[in-house]
Amino acid sequence: MITTYSTRFGGESISVSADWAQASCCIDGLESYQVAAVRHSGERALRLAVEACAEADGEDIEDEDTIAMIESAMDKMKAKDEDEEEEEDEEEDE
């Protein structure tokens, strides 16, 4: 089952998706990573994506203010299973 973890950071929407039970599954939204590399943790993958976004914006991820912004983004994390979306679509079709 594909699960998507998402949040907002610096005005950008960031998300990662994968079948977190499958070690060799590539993580959509986190280039060059497989599920095993983040120990099957969608939350850990999302944190890496948020940190990458912060670095791309020129932020020092060791800085206290940046760490606080990353923590705030992680506190707002949402997770959604792809099956939930499919069930909603099926209900709308009926």
Average pLDDT over residues 11-28: 97
**H helices within 1-93, ranges in order?**
42-56, 64-75, 82-93
Residue 86: predicted pLDDT: 54
Q: Dump pLDDT digits (tens) for 52-91.
A: 999 999 999 999 999 999 999 999 999 999 875 555 555 5
pTM for the model: 0.86
Q: How many CB atoms lie within 10 A of CB 94?
A: 4
Residue type, 25: C
Here the tokens at position 54 are 């912060």
Q: Dump pLDDT digits (tens) for 25-59.
A: 999 999 999 999 999 999 999 999 999 999 999 99
Residue 87: predicted pLDDT: 52
